[in-house]
Structure 1
Amino acid sequence: MPLQAFTPSEPLTLGVELELQIVATHDFDLVAQADDLLRETARHTGAWDIKPEITRSMIEIGSSIQTRHASLRDELRDLRGQISAAARKLNVAIAGGGTHPFQHWSQQQITASERYRYLSDLYGYLAQQFTVFGQHVHLGCRDGDQALWLLHALSRYVPHFIALSASSPFVQGVDTGFDSARLNSVFAFPLSGRAPFVRSWDEFGSYFDKMTATGVVQSMKDFYWDLRPKPEFGTIELRVCDTPLTVDKAAALACYLQCIGRQLLEERPFEPSEDDYLVYTFNRFQACRFGLRGEFVDPRTKQRMRLRDDILRTLVRLDEHALDLQALEATQLLRDSLFEGNDADRLRALHASGQPLPAVVEAAAQRWMQA
């Protein structure tokens, strides 16, 4: 199957997808009630979308196309309110967070769809272990060439989004020591990691043809890259974020990407190169393992610094762009989080205070549902 043409879209438009946990209200373990929740929300009001995910204790919601922080945040709040009301009718709860702290992968049920059955047959137990929860952000691009330029330019900032969104310190009842343990599950897939360094859509088409000729790839969905182009939407998609504990944080993260994208496109502070990826894996690991406390090596200057400091410097550079995009409230929320800590810190603090993990999940659900 040849690569489809890149559908032009308005640059810097936004779309957000959130994978959410469905938990029982008696023990706060995951519960396979996605079908019930989808039926309950089938007649929702709003332009947003809701659909099943790979296992039946997950749902994914997607915003409409947005251009500004306030409208995106308000839509996500509306979505939260309607889904929370539906969940209460079913006596279940909805939570953010990149992993469920104590669920066991072997108990997860694959969603009954052709694609998910195919993935289960192909990847075996990894499909059930893929019961992890992420935020994906789509950023509109003029054409395929711009999409690839921006994809490579944004690679430098991938650790920012991992550390800011990290909310998955616990896996199967254990503190992993990682702020984002969720990404370890993603990295297990053979076509994860970084996209190849190609500069033009024609060149990417040649790469895609070679991959499909091997039989390894059938469509763009088979690539689990941290950043990937989505030609049918006319976007690039950032896939490294854990699902935050609140929709306000999700909206802020999306607008941070929008602000960085605007600065890169308008100022062109550097030209992306393959050398930018020399420290990519190191920086990504540091962000997953240590979050905002991790180290960061600037791929250009080779200077080593704290990731928190690099994010703070970036936010200062973005002030003008955030003002023009009406996103100052979003960037201020992220600036505050640099000192308050990320969601992984919040979850750990709850557990360290003596709360058992079911109570930690209950608190996370109350926070997401605004109960």
Structure 2
Amino acid sequence: MALEPFSRSEALSLGVELELQLVNTHDFDLTPFAQDMLRLMAQTPLPGSVVPEMTSSMIEISTGICHSAKDVIAQLTPIRDALVRCADKLNIAVVGGGTHAFQQWHEQRIYDKPRFRELSELYGYLSKQFTIFGQHVHIGCPSADGALLMLHRMSRYIPHFIALSASSPFVQGQDTQFDSARLNSVFAFPLSGRAPFMLSWNEFGHYFERMTRTGVVRSMKDFYWDIRPKPEFGTIEIRVFDTPLTVQRAAALAGYVQSLAAWFLQEQPFTPSEDDYLVYTYNRFQACRFGMDAVYVDPATGDHMPLREHILMTMSQLEWHAEALDATEGMAQLRTDVEASHNDARWLRERQGQERLLAEVVRQAALRFRGEHG
């Protein structure tokens, strides 16, 4: 099977997808109301789309094409507000975060859609364990070869994305000691992790054809890579972010990605190589486990430094680009959190330390998502 042509898109254009939790308002456990939410949401004209996800307690929202972080928040806010109104009608709540704090995966129901049923048959219990919630950021690339170059440059910053978005410290009622435990579930799937190192779309097409001949792969959707090309959109899709607790943070993270991409395009700061991946898995683990307190190993020099310092150094390099893209407000918000070694995972732990009741933590997270103080 041949790989579809890479569509041309505007450089640095953005798209954001958020997978969200649906919880009841009795004990704040997950509740299978996706179909009802989709029915109600279909009655309101909105940018982007609202679609089901693997299990019936999940829903995914997405923006249309955006050109800045301000465009992202301008689209996510009315979608968020509509979700809240619909949830109120159903007496449920919508929550961000990469995992639900205490749901039991075996209680989840696969959403009745052919692809989800097929995946359930293939992956067994892993499909229900995939009741996890991520943010995906698309960045527009005008050419196919340029998209692969962008993908491999972005790979050095995967630990940044994980630590900045980490919001999944709790799994099935337990503190995992990871800031992002969500990604441990993703790693269980075949064809997860890093994309193969190729800088030519023609070479990537040959790889795709070889993979489809094995019968393991039928489309790009079968690759669960941390970053993957999306030829139908003309983008690369970064998939390691946990869903943040607020749409404001989701937009700020998109602005960070866009500022990085502008830096790559305009300054060509480095040429990626296969050697970048020597420490890739280690850096990714460090960010998942320790968040802002992780160690970052520079793949070019082998130097070790606090991840927090590497993020702050990078943000300083991006200041001009963030200003040009009108992303300074979100970048300032992220910088303040990095300086304080704070992220959503820490907020969740702080709430649990105070409340000693995960249901109350989820309730406060639901208030936070709707724009009220938790």
**Counterpart residue number, 2:363:** 362
User: Residue 330 in 1 paired to residue 330 in 2?
Assistant: yes
**Counterpart residue number, 1:124:** 124
**Counterpart residue number, 1:77:** 77
**Counterpart residue number, 2:352:** 351
**Counterpart residue number, 2:286:** 286
Cα drift, residue 265 of structure 1: 1.2
**Counterpart residue number, 1:51:** 51
Q: In 2, Cα distance between the equivalents of 1:81 and 1:161?
A: 26
Q: In 2, Cα distance between the equivalents of 1:93 and 1:153?
A: 38
Q: Count the aligned residue pairs.
A: 371
Give the match's secondary structure for 1:204. Answer: helix
**Counterpart residue number, 2:94:** 94
**Counterpart residue number, 1:194:** 194
1:1-371 equivalent positions in 2, closer than 5 A:
1-340=1-340, 341-371=342-372
Cα drift, residue 337 of structure 1: 1.3
Cα drift, residue 143 of structure 1: 1.3
Q: For 1:195, give the aligned amino acid.
A: A
Cα drift, residue 25 of structure 1: 0.3
Cα drift, residue 324 of structure 1: 0.7
Q: In 1, Cα distance between the equivalents of 2:245 and 2:113?
A: 28
Q: For 2:317, give the aligned amino acid.
A: R
Cα drift, residue 355 of structure 1: 3.3
Q: In 2, Cα distance between the equivalents of 1:363 and 1:98?
A: 15
More moved, 336-345 vs 24-33: 336-345
Question: Kindly, what percent of the aligned residue pairs are identical?
Answer: 58
Give the match's secondary structure for 1:59. Answer: strand
Give the match's secondary structure for 2:22. Answer: strand
TM-score normalised according to structure 1 size: 0.99
Give the match's secondary structure for 1:55. Answer: coil
Q: In 2, Cα distance between the equivalents of 1:161 and 1:302?
A: 20
TM-score normalised according to structure 2 size: 0.98
Q: In 2, Cα distance between the equivalents of 1:268 and 1:352?
A: 45
Cα drift, residue 203 of structure 1: 0.4
Q: In 2, Cα distance between the equivalents of 1:48 and 1:364?
A: 24
Q: For 1:353, give the aligned amino acid.
A: Q
Deviations 1:144-196 (A, max 9, x none): 10000000011000000000000000000000000000000000001100000
Give the match's secondary structure for 1:205. Answer: helix
Give the match's secondary structure for 2:167. Answer: coil
Q: For 1:366, give the aligned amino acid.
A: L
Give the match's secondary structure for 1:245. Answer: coil
Native 8 Å contact 2:47 2:79 kept in 1 = no
Give the root-mean-square deviation of aligned CA atoms.
0.7
Q: In 1, Cα distance between the equivalents of 2:140 and 2:167?
A: 26
Deviations 1:94-114 (A, max 9, x none): 000000010001000001111
Deviations 1:105-137 (A, max 9, x none): 100000111100010000000000000000000
Unaligned runs of 5+ in 1: none
Runs of at least 4 residues off by over 4 Å: none
Q: In 2, Cα distance between the equivalents of 1:52 and 1:269?
A: 39
Give the match's secondary structure for 1:76. Answer: helix
Cα drift, residue 299 of structure 1: 0.8
Q: For 1:122, give the aligned amino acid.
A: L
Deviations 1:326-358 (A, max 9, x none): 111111011011134000000000111133000
Native 8 Å contact 2:355 2:361 kept in 1 = no
